[in-house]
Amino acid sequence: MKKATQLSSLSLLITALFSQQVFADVPLTLEQYNQATNPEFKRTVVVQNLNSPHNLVWGGDNNLWLTEQTSGNIVRINPNTGAKKTIFTVPDMVYDEGAQYGLLGIALDPKFNQANHQFVYVSVSIKNPNAKDPAFPNQMVIRRYTYDAKKDTLVNPVDIIKGLPCSRDHQSSRLVIGPDNKIYYTIGDQGSNQLTYLFKPNLAQKTPTKAEVSAKDWHKYAGKILRLNLDGSIPSDNPYFDGVQSHIYTIGHRNAQGLSFAPNGKLLQSEQSANSDDEINLIVKGGNYGWPYVAGYKDNNGYAYANFSAAKGDQSKIKDPALNGLKAPEGVRVTKESEWSDKNFIQPLKTLFTVGNDHNFNDPTCGEYAYVCWPTVAASSAYFYKGGKSAIPGWENSLLVTSLKRGVIFRIQMDDSISVTKGDAIPMFRSENRYRDIVASPNGNELFVITDNAGSVQKNDGTVTKTVANPGALIKFTYQPK
């Protein structure tokens, strides 16, 4: 009897310690954001009036390359002079006002400067002639172009994979090439089970059958991270889900816009969650990251899964009053996080941020833009800082995460093995901008950041502005302590 009591006190202690770690990620105060001024960095606006710059990479040619979401332009910028050239415009891209598709991801071949390696990979939305549902007339493709140095443009398009899900919401579409020379690609849950797509089933936990893989029916790739060979085929060492091998590497994602490899091969990711709990994840082959059953930690806090696609009754009369399952109308089944389990479930390393069920999601400070005040940051990218000859002191093993609505970039310190985060996320470079993506120079002392042209961002007094300070800009932060 005594032994049993000791055991249960031990398990209580472990639970308490674990909970302590879990609840360290409390929302930052406005004062903490406003203190993120960083005078040790010189700030330069390198380029202005880009057209919805979306993803930014440092090419093997020592130029910055970026995609413009709404114009379909692939733009190259000399980081020293700011000289800008539109290298190519994707001719068949489709974009519609307010949609999250367009020209999104970009990755250059890791050996871009060598012969026969001048490849540029992009993810882009185009029309889908085989569309079955008129509400979803487009498809995402991953396309490989070849850079023609003589003509200084891109030629020879090859769609290495076609027919990927494409919706107006939660597209994600981050594209990186790993140290194993495979493409890693994030696909959001397409905004299913919320807003416009409230009654569309969320597929983040569904994986294709063998017959669907044979038929190249990729509709269940929504809410996943894919891993592909450079020619678009399925790598022979990809994981199996329910006995079926496909391009799927991990499942259970909502809107993972950030994905970055650390030099030791660890893969880190940022993911936008619902009303709370944006996530920083360590991505592991075959992992299940929980969505839509779990947001952030499995703690029954601030979120439950209300499945509207299975709602009983007249759908036209059913409204979602909360967007986080904490309040659900009659006829809508709600599953608590603790009611769901999966042996491959992986909790986030960190959340931005976790709150209790009593949190006020209608903070009057943000007025009609209440969602800006929610305890999320709208994580738009994750970039592992690799240091360099002029590395910023103390920044080794840092993950940089841009925020669309807090006007900051978060620096998250990690341990040497890149498996654990250390301390709280540190907000930096406060401004009234929606930071979209970030990359460092190889020397390590310059950070290049792109910003949205428009949208809502929180001001220093906590209210919301629709006027951004530097629309469509490339901003350089140079480390130069006084």
Region near Ca ion per CB under 5 A, out of 113-121, 241-249, 279-287, 409-417: 279-287
Q: Which of 124, 105, 286, 100 is nearest to 194 (CA)?
A: 100
Distance, CA of 72 to CA of 74 (rounded, Å): 7
Phi, psi of 189 (to 5 degrees): -80, 10
Our CB check for Ca ion shows the closer of 299 and 446 to be 299
What are the residues facing 278 on neighbouring strands?
Answer: 352
Region near Ca ion per CB under 5 A, out of 149-157, 176-184, 212-220, 273-281: 273-281
DSSP 8-state secondary structure symbol assigned to residue 238: P
Region near Ca ion per CB under 5 A, out of 284-292, 414-422, 424-432, 442-450: 284-292
Distance, CA of 41 to CA of 392 (rounded, Å): 10
Instruction: Tell me if 223 contacts Ca ion by CB under 5 A.
Output: no
Our CB check for Ca ion shows the closer of 25 and 299 to be 299
Our CB check for Ca ion shows the closer of 235 and 286 to be 286
Q: Which of 170, 247, 253, 359 is catalytic?
A: 170
Q: Which of 261, 289, 383, 410 binds Ca ion (CB under 5 A)?
A: 289
**What pairing do the DSSP bridges indicate for beta strands 244-245 and 248-251?**
unpaired
Our CB check for Ca ion shows the closer of 252 and 472 to be 252
The verdict on whether 170 is a catalytic residue reads yes
Minimum distance, C-beta of residue 303 to Ca ion, in the bound complex (Å): 5
Question: First CA to last CA across the chain, in angstroms?
Answer: 65
Q: Which of 184, 188, 141, 178 is nearest to 161 (CA)?
A: 141
Instruction: Tell me if 375 contacts Ca ion by CB under 5 A.
Output: no
Inter-CA distances, 155 with 102, 144, 152, 253, Å: 19, 9, 10, 34
Minimum distance, C-beta of residue 290 to Ca ion, in the bound complex (Å): 4
Strand order in the sheet with 73-77: 53-58, 64-68, 73-77, 84-89
Q: Which of 53, 105, 258, 296 binds Ca ion (CB under 5 A)?
A: 296
Inter-CA distances, 201 with 192, 219, 374, Å: 6, 12, 25
Our CB check for Ca ion shows the closer of 93 and 378 to be 378
Q: Which of 106, 101, 104 is nearest to 154 (CA)?
A: 106
Minimum distance, C-beta of residue 26 to Ca ion, in the bound complex (Å): 14
Other CB atoms within a 10 A radius of the CB of residue 460 amount to: 14
The residue at minimum Cβ distance from Ca ion is: 289
Judged by CB under 5 A, the number of residues near Ca ion is 7
Instruction: Tell me if 299 contacts Ca ion by CB under 5 A.
Output: yes
Q: Which of 351, 312, 316 is nearest to 334 (CA)?
A: 312
Minimum distance, C-beta of residue 374 to Ca ion, in the bound complex (Å): 14
Phi, psi of 365 (to 5 degrees): -55, -40
Minimum distance, C-beta of residue 157 to Ca ion, in the bound complex (Å): 35
Region near Ca ion per CB under 5 A, out of 96-104, 137-145, 242-250, 287-295: 287-295
Our CB check for Ca ion shows the closer of 301 and 451 to be 301
Q: Which of 290, 325, 375, 455 binds Ca ion (CB under 5 A)?
A: 290
Residues 52-71 that bind Ca ion (CB under 5 A): none
Minimum distance, C-beta of residue 180 to Ca ion, in the bound complex (Å): 24
Our CB check for Ca ion shows the closer of 250 and 451 to be 250
Instruction: Tell me if 188 contacts Ca ion by CB under 5 A.
Output: no
What are the residues facing 139 on neighbouring strands?
Answer: 126
Minimum distance, C-beta of residue 338 to Ca ion, in the bound complex (Å): 10
**What pairing do the DSSP bridges indicate for beta strands 224-228 and 183-187?**
antiparallel
Region near Ca ion per CB under 5 A, out of 52-60, 126-134, 281-289, 310-318: 281-289
Helix/strand/coil (H, E, C) string of 176-211? EECCCCCEEEEECCCCCCCHHHCCCCCCCCCCCCHH
* Residues forming the site for Ca ion (CB under 5 A): 279, 289-290, 295-297, 299
Just list the catalytic residues: 170
